[in-house]
Amino acid sequence: MQIISDVLALIVAIEALFIMILEMFFSRTKMAQKAFDLSMEYLFTPETKISMANQGLYNGFIGVGIILTMFVLPQSIATFNLYLFIGFVVVAAIFGGLTANKKIIITQGLPAALALISLIITNNI
């Protein structure tokens, strides 16, 4: 079960890093338009570019935090940190799904929720 938890946590981290790259560096592309369901006109406003870069930075923090937690921190601290970072993603996905785009609950929330459930089962909490 530990392997499943690790794989799911890595999926959450990789997705967060992918979103960071998309929001910070490729926010004015067709891929961003499709991923975020936004018009190209909106994506090309200066305010949008700044806002998306800021959001991307936070996604990057989450992704890097999960990876550092998994590969650098001792297990006694890592488990708590994984709950924290993956819990942040679950909460952000629920909030984003309710306020911005419902598909966020599935695209970001589902992998994070599965990772969180797997962590709970693996750690017998």
- Residues 85-116 have pLDDT tens digits of 999 999 999 999 999 999 999 999 999 999 99
Asked if residue 42 lies in contact with residue 28, where contact means CB atoms within 8 angstroms, the answer is no
Residue 96's pLDDT is what?
95
Residue 41's pLDDT is what?
97
Residue 83's pLDDT is what?
97
Q: Residue 50 in 3-state DSSP?
A: helix
Residues 6+ apart with CB under 8 A from 11: 111, 115
Judge whether residue 125 has pLDDT over 80.
no
Residue 124's pLDDT is what?
83
Torsion angle, CA of 83/88/94/99, rounded to 10 degrees? 180
Average pLDDT for 1-28:
97
Residues 6+ apart with CB under 8 A from 70: 6, 9, 10, 13, 78, 82
**Distance in angstroms (rounded) separating the CA atoms of residues 15 and 59:** 9
Asked if residue 66 lies in contact with residue 86, where contact means CB atoms within 8 angstroms, the answer is yes
Residue 76's pLDDT is what?
86
**Distance in angstroms (rounded) separating the CA atoms of residues 88 and 104:** 14
- Residues 22-57 have pLDDT tens digits of 999 999 999 999 999 999 999 999 999 999 999 999
**pLDDT band for position 73 (50/70/90)?**
very high
